[in-house]
Amino acid sequence: MPKNLSYMVHLPTPSNPKVETSRFCDLHYDRLQPSDEEFDQYNRFEFGQFFAREALLDEEYWTAAWLRAESFWEHGPYERCVDRNKLEFADREYKAIKRRYSKVQNGQNYSCIIAVRKKQKNVKRSILKSVVGTLDLSTRYLLQGETFPGERRNAPPFCGINRTPSSRYAYITNMCVTKSARRQGIAGNMLHFAVESAKSFGNITLKSN
């Protein structure tokens, strides 16, 4: 498995609501990649033959979930039912993405960021074959006694959430790129897009393990 990378960005309470995506509600595995013009109003970052943006379609959420399933099982031992296990993993992750995206709990917001192949003239490509990378970007509050996520000092076992503006931060997880598209700078550019998307709200701190 690749090394896990986590970024923390301190954020104030956002003033803009999340983009409404209720019209993208039906899951079709053969759905073609939308035209670039359809998403021109959404923030995105172009690099080479790809661009990074927030996932907006259910098919994009599913493809992100499948990429994570493939990454999870990539270096695991051979199993007779590995394909079924991948499918079950992807199904659970897809539902988790939808659940995280639809609910805002304790001031936490969530975005699924994807890297997508640019459309080519006279080439029809499904969404499942267009999405080549993904990561999660979430914003949340530190707990009482925390100065960094998971690092509490002199704090009781059970404590509340510190809802001050300075305690709000962004956290990046679940980064992966499909094997056929690696070594093209996709992971680095997705990270760049995620960090720059949050960077305008405050200072950034990097944590890796």
pLDDT in tens, 39-93: 666 688 899 999 999 998 899 999 999 999 998 888 766 667 778 888 888 999 9
pLDDT grade for 15, boundaries at 50, 70 and 90: very low
The answer to whether 171 and 110 are in contact (CB under 8 A) is no
* DSSP reduced 3-state for 75: coil
Encoded tokens for 79: 């199993």
pLDDT grade for 6, boundaries at 50, 70 and 90: very low
Closest CA to 9 of 193, 209, 196: 196
pLDDT in tens, 167-190: 677 888 899 999 999 999 999 999
CB contact set of 100 (below 8 Å; sequence gap of 6+): 110, 136, 138
Encoded tokens for 130: 């267009």
**pLDDT: is 106 or 174 the higher one?**
174
Encoded tokens for 118: 């640019």
Instruction: Provide the sign of the torsion angle of the four alpha carbons 78, 82, 83, 87, taken in this order.
Output: negative
Q: What is the DSSP string of 60-74?
A: HHHHHHHHHHHHHHT
Q: What is the DSSP string of 128-162?
A: HHHEEEEEEEEEEEPBTTEEETTEESS--SS--B-
Q: What does pTM read for this prediction?
A: 0.74
pLDDT at position 63, please? 93
